[in-house]
């Protein structure tokens, strides 16, 4: 099943816009497949983790996310999801030359499916990647393990608020307070806050 999913893997591109004026900020590359049992990133990564094949989907995503953006000359940032273990690949940049060539436009989005491992090595790796021009985003703040400890560890340039916090925020005063506090903290630290799951 995982092989069929990886063979049929394709990328969808979700626009990210500025709330103030509706201008385009960039795109998030989202993993999709034609395999019904593994239709999206979550199921694919879970299967890859179980089978010890985690590097493969990450490598394919990085390869296939860059090409359409470069070939179409689309402006804006490109958000590419990473598993924390992807960061620890010793030849990360060398294995992704097209990604590295546009590092100043790429936001490496840490999809924290498990607690951050080898924290010190992750910090060192992030320092190296930032030196090459990449920016770092923490995905889904407020969900799973992506809490304030990860916020402090990664010191991301961009914070993405989990959609469970954002949806129905117009009618939920508790969500309003939580998101206001997270957004204020992000802005105070010079970070951009991105809200996921805006429907209304």
Residues 44/2, Cβ–Cβ less than 8 Å: yes
CB 38 within 8 A of CB 50: no
Q: What is the DSSP letter of 117?
A: P
| pLDDT at residue 145 greater than cutoff 70 | no
pLDDT in tens, 63-121: 899 989 888 888 899 999 888 778 777 778 888 888 999 999 999 998 765 556 555 67
Per-residue b or e along 160-199, where b marks 16 or more CB atoms closer than 10 Å to that residue's CB: bbbeebbbebeeeeebeeebeebbeebeeeebbbbbbeee
Q: Residue 193 pairs with which residues in a beta bridge?
A: 159
Q: Which two tokens stand for residue 131?
A: 């030196």
Alpha helices in the chain (DSSP H): 2-7, 41-51, 55-72, 92-95, 97-101, 119-131, 148-154, 163-166, 173-188
Query: 53 or 184: whose pLDDT is higher?
Result: 184
Predicted local distance difference test score (pLDDT) of residue 116: 65
């Amino acid at each position: 099943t995982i092989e069929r999913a990886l063979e049929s893997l394709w990328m969808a591109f979700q626009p990210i816009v500025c709330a103030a004026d509706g201008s385009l900020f960039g795109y998030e590359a989202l993993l999709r497949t034609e395999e019904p049992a593994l239709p999206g990133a979550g199921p694919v990564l879970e299967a890859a983790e179980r089978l010890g094949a985690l590097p493969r989907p990450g490598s394919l995503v990085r390869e296939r996310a860059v090409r359409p953006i470069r070939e179409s000359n689309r402006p804006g940032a490109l958000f590419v999801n990473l598993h924390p273990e992807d960061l620890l690949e010793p030849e990360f940049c060398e294995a992704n030359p097209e990604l590295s060539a546009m590092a100043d436009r790429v936001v490496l989005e840490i999809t924290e499916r498990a607690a951050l491992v080898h924290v010190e090595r992750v910090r060192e790796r992030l320092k190296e990647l930032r030196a090459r021009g990449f920016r770092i985003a923490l995905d889904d703040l407020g969900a799973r393990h992506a809490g304030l400890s990860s916020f402090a560890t990664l010191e991301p340039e961009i914070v993405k608020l989990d959609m469970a916090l954002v949806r129905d925020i117009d009618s939920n005063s508790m969500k309003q307070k939580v998101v206001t506090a997270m957004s204020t903290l992000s802005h105070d630290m010079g970070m951009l806050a991105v809200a996921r799951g805006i429907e209304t």
